[in-house]
């Protein structure tokens, strides 16, 4: 009867109760750990430096197209008989080359100077003025050549809030519009950083070297976050499971021993997709043969369809990519286990995984907005408090200390507001006496501004690093929940390495072998008979007895 009552409740006695998705809400304080923020800031900086170098190398080797160059090539084409054919061919090739160069300028171009050629290109293809990107409209590019403190993340949230509270009607509508345009992408920045390079692989303007450039960005991203993401997930899992240890030094040592597995886990599916693409390209070689290609396509087109299906399944399963790192951090296993678990969890319980992700993203967006506002107010109130010191006429207002501060998130605009060094939303100096103001700077003014900006930038990196810390912490909690649901493993089961026993401080000295004592001679009784040795035979006769 007891067994029947247990079974009637819909949850068998041997089957554990599924874990609640509300555990995602317990990741805030875990992600706010200062050591995790420092690790996340290091990953952001390492990613930006690598992307900057890759972009510089590719853009330097990229030549800006010229129509006359293609017209000269058209004259050498023997297949083009008439002048009209040569002009059409030159115009077509020039347009294709211009598209490839424009894409490279957007992604890898210089950020400190604009291109009139690109500005004209962008404006012609975006006739709607209201929908234009302001920096691209002016001819600036370099999306992946920008340092984190210079990225365009929109106006400061504190300034937007102040505008909504005390601004006019049009100002409030513009502020609300900017919140949707800029602030929401900032709140899910880690996801966009991981996904946008993949998006450009499918841009119709990309050429062969454009694909190589984007793949280089993706590879460097995986190289960096295989380490930093592994450290963050290991630290988070140890805390979420309530295990001892899991400090920064221990987590770094743990990831270093398994770094190759962390790196290969997402690379193997990418290599598989690349192999299938190569197979389709080989199929296309036969396709280009007139007559034979048509018949071959009709008979064997099911082969590219199978390849496309496999690529689709692999790409869809890659939404569980963060669980590859969490598997290695939780189980201490290898690349195969990381891949199999992530794909298995996604395909066996997709709706639960999707729900966990939606909750984590929505909750993380609110937390990130809160952290950004707190960070902005921290720097602003520090400056505001110092500026209230009565200077008795001496012009020592601290705004001059922030001329090198991060422009991203509107921090420089917030900290220099009301001074000759103030800037607008586009980073342009608006005060008419700015040039004269900068002429009065001495060496110690620049030195003080540089050192203060170092601390401001450090705080800024930790502020934007929170979203990355939260991303990997929430991914760790989602992994534990998915493992509980699919594999029925308890949430607190995390692999803990056994420490080797400490060696004794002094090794015991070997016991010396005993010195053998000489054997005493055996005494023989006096009356004991002695054996007489036989004497040699005389004259060759036999022995004498």
Q: Which two tokens stand for residue 441?
A: 């700077």
Domain boundaries, position 458: 358-487
Q: Is residue 442 part of a domain?
A: yes
Per-residue pLDDT band for 509 (boundaries 50, 70, 90) equals: low
Per-residue pLDDT band for 458 (boundaries 50, 70, 90) equals: very high
Q: Is residue 524 part of a domain?
A: no
Residue 510 has pLDDT above 80, yes or no: no
The pLDDT of residue 244 is 82
Residue 545 has pLDDT above 50, yes or no: no
The pLDDT of residue 21 is 84
Domain count, the chain: 1
Q: Is residue 27 part of a domain?
A: no
Q: What percent of the chain has pLDDT over 70?
A: 82
Distances (CA, A) of 52 to 81, 106, 151: 46, 13, 13
pLDDT tens column, 479-507: 999 999 998 888 888 888 775 454 555 44
Q: What percent of the chain has pLDDT over 90?
A: 31
* CA-based torsion, 293, 295, 298, 301: positive or negative: negative
The pLDDT of residue 6 is 39
Mean pLDDT (whole number) for 181-202:
80
Residue 115 has pLDDT above 80, yes or no: yes
Residue 161 has pLDDT above 50, yes or no: yes
Instruction: Confirm whether pTM is higher than 0.85.
Output: no
pLDDT tens column, 2-35: 444 334 444 444 455 555 888 989 899 999 999 9
Residues in the chain: 545
Rounded to the nearest 10°, the torsion over CA 19, 369, 197, 63 is: -170
User: What single string gives the DSSP state of each residue in 278-341?
Assistant: HHHHHHHHHHTSTTHHHHHHHHHTHHHHHHHHHHHHHHHHGGGHHHHHHHHHHH---HHHHHHH
Q: Is residue 371 part of a domain?
A: yes
Q: Is residue 76 part of a domain?
A: no
Check residues 198 and 393 and name the one with the higher pLDDT.
Answer: 198
Closest CA to 326 of 279, 277, 266, 383: 266
Q: Is residue 404 part of a domain?
A: yes
Distances (CA, A) of 315 to 78, 230, 343, 345, 385: 44, 22, 10, 15, 52
Per-residue pLDDT band for 76 (boundaries 50, 70, 90) equals: confident
**Orientation of helix 189-200 relative to helix 443-487, angle to 10°:** 90
Q: Is residue 350 part of a domain?
A: no
Residue 304 has pLDDT above 60, yes or no: yes
CB 35 within 8 A of CB 248: yes
Check residues 541 and 350 and name the one with the higher pLDDT.
Answer: 350
- Nearest-angstrom CA–CA distance, 499 and 504: 15
């Amino acid at each position: 009867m007891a067994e029947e009552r247990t079974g009637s409740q819909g949850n068998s006695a041997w089957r554990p109760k599924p874990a609640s998705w509300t555990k995602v809400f317990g990741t805030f304080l875990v992600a706010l750990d200062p050591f995790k923020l420092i690790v996340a800031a290091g990953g952001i900086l390492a990613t930006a430096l690598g992307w900057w170098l890759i972009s510089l190398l590719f853009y330097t080797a990229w030549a800006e197209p010229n129509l006359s160059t293609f017209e000269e090539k058209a004259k050498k084409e023997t297949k083009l008989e008439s002048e009209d054919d040569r002009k059409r061919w030159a115009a077509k090739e020039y347009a294709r080359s211009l598209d490839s160069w424009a894409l490279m300028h957007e992604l890898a171009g210089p950020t400190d100077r604009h291109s009139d050629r690109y500005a004209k290109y962008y404006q012609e293809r975006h006739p709607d003025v209201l929908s234009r990107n302001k920096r691209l409209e002016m001819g600036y590019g370099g999306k992946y050549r920008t340092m984190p403190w210079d990225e365009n993340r929109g106006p400061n949230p504190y300034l937007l809030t102040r505008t909504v509270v005390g601004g006019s009607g049009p100002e409030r509508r513009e502020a609300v519009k900017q919140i949707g345009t800029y602030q929401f992408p900032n709140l899910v920045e880690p996801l966009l950083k991981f996904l946008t390079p993949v998006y450009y692989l499918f841009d119709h303007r990309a050429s062969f070297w454009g694909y190589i450039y984007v793949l280089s960005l993706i590879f460097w991203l995986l190289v960096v976050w295989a380490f930093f993401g592994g450290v963050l997930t290991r630290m988070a899992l140890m805390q979420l499971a309530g295990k001892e240890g899991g400090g920064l030094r221990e987590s770094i040592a743990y990831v270093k021993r398994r770094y190759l597995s962390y790196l290969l886990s997402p690379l193997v599916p990418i290599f598989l997709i690349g192999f299938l693409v190569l197979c389709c390209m080989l199929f296309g070689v036969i396709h280009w043969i007139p007559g034979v290609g048509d018949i071959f396509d009709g008979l064997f087109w099911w082969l590219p369809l199978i390849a496309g299906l496999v690529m689709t399944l692999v790409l869809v399963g890659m939404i569980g990519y963060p669980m590859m790192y969490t598997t290695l951090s939780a189980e201490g296993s290898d690349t195969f286990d990381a891949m199999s678990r992530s794909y298995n969890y996604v395909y066996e319980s997709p709706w639960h995984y999707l729900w966990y992700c939606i909750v984590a993203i929505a909750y993380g967006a609110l937390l990130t907005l809160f952290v950004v506002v707190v960070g902005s107010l921290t720097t602003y109130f520090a400056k505001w408090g110092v500026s209230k010191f009565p200077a008795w006429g001496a012009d020592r207002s601290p705004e001059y200390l922030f001329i090198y501060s991060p422009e991203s998130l509107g921090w420089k605009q917030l900290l220099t507001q009301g001074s000759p060094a103030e800037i607008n939303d586009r980073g342009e100096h608006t005060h008419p006496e700015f040039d004269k103001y900068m002429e009065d700077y001495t060496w110690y003014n620049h030195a003080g501004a540089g050192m203060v900006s170092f601390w401001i930038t450090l705080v800024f990196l930790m502020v934007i690093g929170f979203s990355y810390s939260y991303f990997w912490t929430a991914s760790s909690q989602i992994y534990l929940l998915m493992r509980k649901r699919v594999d029925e493993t308890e949430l607190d089961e995390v692999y803990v390495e056994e420490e080797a026993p400490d060696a004794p401080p002094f090794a015991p000295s070997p016991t010396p072998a005993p010195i053998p004592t000489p054997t005493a001679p055996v005494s023989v009784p006096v009356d004991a008979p002695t054996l007489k040795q036989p004497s040699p035979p005389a004259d060759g006769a036999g022995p004498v007895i």
